[in-house]
């Protein structure tokens, strides 16, 4: 059974009130949803809050789910929207320390391996939400152009445009920080 058929079967069981099916679905998707939210929000606590809201909304509106679309795309769409809504509500607007903004670290400065993830996350946070979202879906959620297009409900052409521009910006940002 492929993942889409598996999800459909689990959803049907959930709609019949089967909590075991709910546990399976949450088990399958809580980590990827959390990670996508974390990469967009840049904060694990906010990502955990967003993940809870995502599942609440998904199951609250399970009746509106159209089985001709993949559950994967549906829950990621809710996740991305929720993360961006959280950002817009200003919950995550934490000003970066002056020493950490792009370009203040010399290109020759080495970055400890343990700091690499933080540097990358900070590089992501330098991107606009639109750009960050496509980078997250492509590189952290391993979505294809088509899947990103489905999730964000934008043309593939727009996905490519945003992704390519975002990479260019990230490359320059990380190079300026001595990471890349």
Partner 1 sequence: MVDERTLDLINADIDGELKPEESQELDAILEASADARAMRSELLRLSNLLDNQPAVNPPADLAQHILQQIKLPETAGSFSLSGLFSSFQPATAGLAFAAGLLATVSFYELTPDNSPGFDTAGMVGTMVANPENRGADVADSLSFSEPGVAGTVSLQTGKDVFALEFNLESTETVEIEVAFAEAGLGFGGIAHAVIDNEAADESYEISGGTLRVVNQGRQSFTVFLLNASRNDGGSREINIEVSSAGARVTAGVLRG
CB of 41 closer than 8 Å to CB of 62: no
Given the rule CB under 8 A, which of 72-80, 89-97, 107-115, 131-139 is the region that contacts partner 1?
131-139
* Least spacing, CB of residue 54 vs partner 1, in Å: 9
Spell out the alpha helix ranges (H) of the chain.
Answer: 3-15, 19-41, 44-60, 71-88, 116-125, 129-135, 145-152, 156-176
Q: By CB neighbour count within 10 A (0-12 exposed, 13-18 middle, 19+ buried), where does 5 fall?
A: exposed
Under rule CB under 8 A, which residues in 47-86 are in contact with partner 1? 47-48, 51-52, 55-56, 59, 62
Q: Of residues 6, 70, 105, 180, which one binds partner 1 by CB under 8 A?
A: 180
Residue of 80, 59, 50 lying closest to 10 (CA atoms) = 59
Nearer to partner 1, 29 or 87 (CB): 29
Nearest approach in angstroms of CB 36 to partner 1 is 10
Q: Which is nearer to partner 1, 90 or 142 (CB)?
A: 142
Query: What character string, x for contact with partner 1 (CB under 8 A) and - otherwise, covers 136-175?
Result: --xxx---xx--------------x--xx--xx-xx--xx
What residues have CB less than 8 Å from 121, skipping those under 6 apart? 39, 42
For 100-120, letters b (16+ CB in 10 Å) and e give eebeebeeeeebeeeeeeebb
Q: Which of 10, 14, 75, 78 binds partner 1 (CB under 8 A)?
A: 14
Say how far apart CA 47 and CA 31 lie, in whole Å.
11
Among 7, 10, 38, 80, binds partner 1 (CB under 8 A): 38
Residue 56, number of CB atoms within 10 A of its CB: 12
Residues at the contact surface with partner 1, assessed by CB under 8 A: 14-20, 22-23, 26-27, 30-32, 34-35, 38, 44, 47-48, 51-52, 55-56, 59, 62, 116-117, 120, 135, 138-140, 144-145, 160, 163-164, 167-168, 170-171, 174-175, 179-180
């Amino acid at each position: 059974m492929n993942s889409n058929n598996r999800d459909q079967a689990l959803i049907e069981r959930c709609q019949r009130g089967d909590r075991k099916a709910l546990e399976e679905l949450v088990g399958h998707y809580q980590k990827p949803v959390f990670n996508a939210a974390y990469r967009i929000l840049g904060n694990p606590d906010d990502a955990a809050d967003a993940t809870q809201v995502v599942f609440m909304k998904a199951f609250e509106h399970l009746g509106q789910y159209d089985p001709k679309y993949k559950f994967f795309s549906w829950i990621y769409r809710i996740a991305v929207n929720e993360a961006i809504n959280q950002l817009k509500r200003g919950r995550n607007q934490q000003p970066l320390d002056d020493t950490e903004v792009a370009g203040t670290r010399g290109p020759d400065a080495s970055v400890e391996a343990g700091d690499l993830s933080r540097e990358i996350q900070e590089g992501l946070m330098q991107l606009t939400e639109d750009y960050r979202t496509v980078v997250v879906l492509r590189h952290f959620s391993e979505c294809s152009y088509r899947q990103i297009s489905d999730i964000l409900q934008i043309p593939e052409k727009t996905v490519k445009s945003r992704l390519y521009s975002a990479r260019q910006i990230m490359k320059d940002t990380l190079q300026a920080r001595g990471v890349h």
